[in-house]
Amino acid sequence: MTSPQKLPLVAVIATGGTIASRKGAEGAASPALTGQDLLDLLPPLPLRLRAVELLAKDSSTLTLADMQGISDEVGRQLADPDIAGVVILHGTDAMEETALLVRLQNHAQKPVVFTGAQFSADSTAPDGPANLAHAVQLALSGNGVRLAFGGQVLPVWGLYKAGTDRADAFALAGSADPELPPLPAPIGGLRIDLIAVHPGADAVHLDASLAAGAQGIVLVALGSGNATPQIVAGVTRALAAGVPVVTSSRVPEGVLTPTYGGGGGGHDLQAAGAIHSRLLRPGQARILLAALIANGASSDQIAQAFA
């Protein structure tokens, strides 16, 4: 029989989210359970678990500084020689963003697994315990950053939340997982804005972001990365001010190609200097752009990272 001291040790970093949420007297769910509370719900497993109580937030409220704090904590746990793997309990609204940041900053030689829940801990059919049990077992094999959710195991690059009311909440925009150099510089002090593009959109929001001091902008464009002539003109102003602009899309899946013209299509945006995000959707494009800017990447390096 293996002694408890020789069983593998997995760190479980709690950050809040639906997996830790219960409804209050007003009927609204919010994080109420600690990481240890959630670990106590698990059946006996052939491993040791270390609860790390980091945050207790809905992931919709996470700032870049919060995401950086999570990434930093993952790095600290990975540096511990006693740790076999790391699990991060995280809200689903921003899980794809934080997971990508952890991947970019921690080229992990140990397994790192994100998980959470779609249904609160006091719902009639909570999915958190099964997701957590899957994640801690997955944290004993392989390496790198993955997601364990709803019975699926998915890589991080291209990840997006595909559903709000089903247990298998996540999907991939496409199949790719490029090799990038480590991007360790912290992103917490940056302002990177998403600008939603609708048919006939003007550049009011883009110009407002520039006025507010945005250091990078991601366009949530139409189709394969299309906008309007007014947005193209706004991109020109942003680049003149030294602010890089990346074009992504509100369409959840598929490779994006800058094909269309007409004064505001993806071809015109690229000609104006916007960088086309071939695969990453807006949330992850924002994180990658932030990491590249923080690490002093050139325009060519940014373009290559999104290619």
Asked if 164 is an active-site residue, the reply is no
């949420």: which residue's tokens? 21
Task: Summarize the annotated binding site as residue ranges.
Answer: 59, 92-93
Beta bridge partners of 152: 149
Terminus-to-terminus CA distance in the chain, angstroms? 52
Whether 188 and 262 have beta carbons less than 8 Å apart is answered as no
Task: Summarize the annotated binding site for substrate as residue ranges.
Answer: 59, 92-93
Q: Could you give phi then psi for residue 217, rounded to 5 degrees?
A: -135, 140
Q: Per the residue annotation, which of 2, 15, 18, 115 is the catalytic one? A: 18
Exposure string of 264-290, with b = 16+ CB inside 10 Å and e = fewer, is: bbbbbbbebbbbbbbbbbbbbbbbbbb
What are 27-34's contacts with CB under 8 Å, separation 24+?
29/120, 29/122, 30/58, 31/56, 31/57, 31/58, 32/121, 33/121
Half-sphere exposure of 199 toward its Cβ, with a 13 Å CA cutoff?
1
Active site residues: 18
